[in-house]
Every structure is written in structure tokens, then in C-alpha cells.
Amino acid sequence: MDKNFFCDGVDKAPQRSLFNALGMTKEEMDRPIVGIVSSYNEIVPGHMNIDKITEAVKLGVAMAGGTPIVFPAIAVCDGIAMGHQGMKYSLVTRDLIADSTECMALAHHFDALVMIPNCDKNVPGLLMAAARVNVPTVFVSGGPMLAGHVKGHKTSLSSMFEAVGSYNAGKFTLEDVEEFENNACPTCGSCSGMYTANSMNCLTEVLGMGLRGNGTIPAVYSERLKLAKHAGMAVMELLKKNIRPRDIMTEEAFKNAIAADMALGCSTNSMLHLPAIAHECGIELDLELVNEISERTPNLCHLAPAGPTYMEDLNEAGGVYAVLKELLDAGLINGDCMTATGKTVAENVKNAVNRDPKIIRPIDDPFMPNGGIAVLKGNLAPDTCVVKRSAVAPEMLKHEGPARVFDCEEDAIAAIRGGKIVEGDVVVIRYEGPKGGPGMREMLNPTSAIAGMGLGSSVALITDGRFSGATRGASIGHVSPEAALGGNIALVNEGDIIAIDINAHKIELKVSDEELENRRKNWTPREPKITTGYLAKYASLVTSANRGAVLEIKK
């Protein structure tokens, strides 16, 4: 096995003297040095067990002949950040994580990396860093939370938020809310439905950057520790074979990820993250491709919030590999893509079995004939917007109603809780995009309030911000161009009729082009909400949601 970069030569003696200061032996210096990127912290439930995962990875690396060295990555809990200024800092951490990990990895010339993420922006941020650094890399996440149990039924964080809406509607007592509060989130781990964190951890398996079970083995299972040890061993094999992230994350791998996304019913946030990760690999993902793949890829899973099943159920049914086997046998994915196992997708899933066709529907008996996410276009969103089709009530797949317009999330929530939103309305929340927010807040509070008040099958929400993976209903986000850039969403007036046809991929503001042009003449850009600190810097660099909200230096 190759030695590490610093082990030979007089010119590297100063660096070796600093390794001596770390207490490193010559034997350790003679081995490849593997950076272990630990996202452990004590505020995010999905990360509180990562210290144990980190120790298991270190052992796996050492067993396979490497020298593991740990350094940190940050992570924000979207649930704790929800509904206040903290949510402005969630999406922006994705790029901060990518930047800081790139800095650490290249400044210290690691021979290989093992990334240990778990939650929403932490996973894509580290995938972006892996593509930039491009040394042999394996991912192993902290794993999903077990489902909660309330009133004899499994439940999760989305039900907790909806319980608040039910209380505000007079349907729940304080005691009911407290029961959810104490039982919805029973263990460490990423929240138990197919929300953004679990979506991205599953897609990490599909992209080939994580080992089998990375997305589904529960955080509290000992199997997760075994997986971590195997990840440490696997990265040493990748180092021997010189297989790097950009060898794995190819254009075909991203097409596989989109197909699996459609089959699994992943979060709409994947439509921000997959283009951003692909961008770091030198691949531009056009969201038009999503509809093309979605139309031929059936939706096989209905995990929460779309249905009553959870990550532990998907794991027992055979996990991501069982879903990939269904897709591969139907010719819907490319089996030749290389993965972190050193084998192709086809070789990996050869013996995968669907153990529960109620959880993972067979390809010929899907929940829906098309995929879980739809990309819409029209005069309200000329550059696209997205919706989690698999979580929309059938009667809302086609809807027309009057716009109820709000210039921030807080005003919309006040109107919803105040009973001012009625059946048929289309709630429009604008100036919450990547630049206008800034930070493109996730809006689980308004969607949960609507669901909790029994309006989920009669009211639509549209925003240039984004929705949580825990959101269900006709919640259409990522409207591009956003209001802050003068997108047509900025020109919507109270009472304008908006028509939505999800299966036809259309969204239309029923206002003439002439009238929109007249309104534009009277529109003026809003002053930035925040002018100092990291958010101001982010707002000055961020691109539109349809491009993955990547940061771009203005030339």
C-alpha cells in the first residue's frame, strides 16, 4: 500500500515533527492518512451518536492498514431551527460545510476521507466537498431515528408539527399535544420519515458513495456500528484501486439517483441538492430531466409523510438495494456505474430481495405509475418549481383558486392560524428565496398548520422558498426566478387566480402578459433584509433554486 504524502524525504521533516507533536508513531506516519470528517455535536438528535460511529470508522481504517485522523464538520437541526430566524441559516450551511471540509482536507493533504454526516444540509455539503477534493472517499451516516408511537400508531416529527395545527384548530387538547411531544421522537437519529436527511442518505447509496444500508439501518442498531467499520475498511480498498468520487458520481450515477428519488418518494429538497452536487462534479443537471425520468419511473414507496411507513420499515423490507433491484430489472437504471464497494451497481444488488411488497411495491404494482416528484413550469415559474407529487392528495393534483399573498412566512402562519385561509385558496409566500430570504427558509410550520386544520386536501401553497421533507399536500416550492430577482411571483396580487396541474407539469397565473408587464413597471426591488454577516455574503453569491442554489462568483 502507498505511504502517505509526508512520510519520506528531508523536505517533509517539518511536517513530521508536527505529527510527532500529535503523538503519532513512525509506524502511523508510514501508513496512508485518512481524514475522518465527524459531524458529531450535542444539539442535533441525528448527530449525537456520531461519536460512536466515528470510533467504529477509525477502527475499520486502522484494521485495514490506515491511520485515521478526525476533524469536524458542522450541522444544523432543521426541526430546532424551524419557524424562526435560525431557519435562514440551514441551507446556507451546506456550502459552509463544503468550503470548510475542502479547506481542511486539502490543507492537510489527506490520502483518503470517510465522511460521517446525517442531517439535511450536512449530507449534500459533504458530498459537494468529496467531489471537490476528489480523493478516495466513503460515506457512512449516523442513521435514521426509530418511529414514535402515539395512541397505538407509529408517528414522527411531521405528526408533531401537525398536532400543533390541530390544537390551533380546536381539534386537539394540550394533553394530546404533550403526548406527541413526548413520544414522536423516541431515539437519536435523523427523523424517521422520508424527509430530507433520509432522502439524501438513501441517495448517497444510490450515487455509489455509501455502502449498503447507509440510508436505512436505524441509528440505534448495532448493525450501524458494523457498517461504520466496513466503511473504514472500504476506503482503504478504494485507495488501493485509486477509485475517486468523480469516478463514482458520473452523469449516469446522477440519473440513477433521480430514478431512485422518484421510486422512493424523496424530499423536494433533493431537487436543490442533486444539481449542486453534480455541479461540483462538473455536471449540469437540468431539472427538465427530472420529469423525463419521473414519467417512466413508478413510485414504489410511500414513507411518511406520504404514507404510514417509516425508515425502519424500509430497512426491514430490503432497503435501498431492494428498490434498486426493482428498477434495474425493469431497465430503469444503469447497472454499470462504479460504487464505493469497488463493484458496479448491478453487482451490488444482484442478490437483493424485496421482503415486503407492501412497503416496496413491485414494479408492476406501484403506488403511482410515475415518480414522487414533479417539476412544474408556467408563467408563475418560468424557470421551474417543484412539488412532492407522492404526498399530494389526489383531488389536489389539479387545482384552481384565488391567491392569498404574503411577503413572509410569519404573515402566512398568522393568517392560517387566524382562520383567514379557506377551502380553495392558494397561499403564496414570497421573498423567501435563496437571495430574498436570504437562505430559502424551509416552511414546515405553515404546511403543518394547514394539514392540522383539515385543509390539506383543499388548499395549495406556493413559495420561492422551500418545504420540509416532512411536508405533505399541494406544497409547491423553489419557484424560480424568485421574487427578490423580479420573478413573476413578485407580481401576484391578492385574489388573482392560479391554476395548478401537477400531472401536466403546469402552473399558471391567470393574468395577461400585458397586465404583468404593467405591474412590473410599478415594481421596485426590495431592500435586502440582512446586510451584514454570513447571510449577507451568501445572498450576494447565491444563484436561483432551479440551479441548486449554488454559490457563484460574479465575473
Close Cβ partners of 279 (under 8 Å, ≥ 6 residues apart): 285, 547, 548, 550
- Predicted local distance difference test score (pLDDT) of residue 3: 72
- Over residues 85-101, the pLDDT tens digits come to 999 999 999 999 999 99
Q: What is the mean pLDDT of residues 506-535?
A: 95
Kindly tell me if the per-residue pLDDT of 169 is higher than 90. no
C-alpha of 27 from chain center: 40
**SS3 sequence of 363-412:** CCCCCECCCCCEEEEECCEEEEEEECHHHCCHHHCEEEEEEEEECCHHHH
> Global pTM?
0.96
What pLDDT, on a 0 to 100 scale, did the predictor assign at position 157? 92
448 among known catalytic residues: no
Q: What is the dihedral of CA 539, 544, 548, 549, to 10 degrees?
A: 0
d(CA 321, CA 213): 8
What's the mean pLDDT when you consider all of the chain? 96
Task: Give me the mean pLDDT over the 534-547 stretch.
Answer: 96
Q: What is the DSSP string of 8-41?
A: SSGGGHHHHHHHHHTT--HHHHTSPEEEEEE---
* Number of continuous H segments (helices) and E segments (strands) in the chain: 21, 14
CA distances from 338 to 136, 206, 252, 324 (A): 13, 11, 10, 14
Give 11-28 pLDDT, tens digit per residue: 999 999 999 999 999 999
Can you list the alpha helix ranges (DSSP code H) found in 380-499?
A: 409-417, 444-452
Q: What's the CA gap between 144 and 313, in Å, rounded? A: 11
The amino acid that residue 136 corresponds to is P
User: pLDDT tens-digit profile of 142-160?
Assistant: 999 999 999 899 999 989 9
| Better pLDDT: 371 or 553 | 371
The pLDDT value given to residue 553: 83
Identify the pLDDT of residue 2.
64
- Distance CA(518)–CA(540), nearest Å, equals 28
Phi-psi region of 326 (alpha: psi -120 to 50; beta: other; left: phi over 0): alpha
Model confidence at 462: pLDDT above 70: yes
Phi, psi for residue 404 in degrees, rounded to 5: -115, 110
What type of residue sits at position 470?
A
Contact indicator for 471, 443 with CB cutoff of 8 Å: yes
Candidate list 39, 390, 468, 544, residue with the active-site label: 468
Whole-number Å distance between alpha carbons of 285 and 131: 15
Confidence of residue 208 (pLDDT cuts 50, 70, 90): very high
Residue 445 has pLDDT above 90, yes or no: no
Cis peptide before 438 (omega within 30 of 0): yes
Query: pLDDT tens-digit profile of 342-361?
Result: 999 999 999 999 999 999 99
Helices (H), 185-310: 196-207, 222-241, 245-248, 251-264, 270-280, 288-296
pLDDT grade for 279, boundaries at 50, 70 and 90: very high
Q: What is the pLDDT of residues 212-270, one digit of tens each?
A: 999 999 999 999 999 999 999 999 999 999 999 999 999 999 999 999 999 999 999 99
The pLDDT tens digits of the residues spanning 60-116 come to 999 999 999 999 999 999 999 998 999 999 999 999 999 999 999 999 999 999 999
Give pLDDT, residue 469.
Answer: 78
pLDDT of residue 1 exceeding 60, the answer is no
Assign 43 a pLDDT band (cuts: 50, 70, 90): very high
Q: Which amino acid is at 71?
A: F
**What's the mean pLDDT in 118-122?**
97
The pLDDT tens digits for 294-349 are 999 999 999 999 999 999 999 999 999 999 999 999 999 999 999 999 999 999 99
Confidence band of 8 (pLDDT split at 50, 70, 90): confident
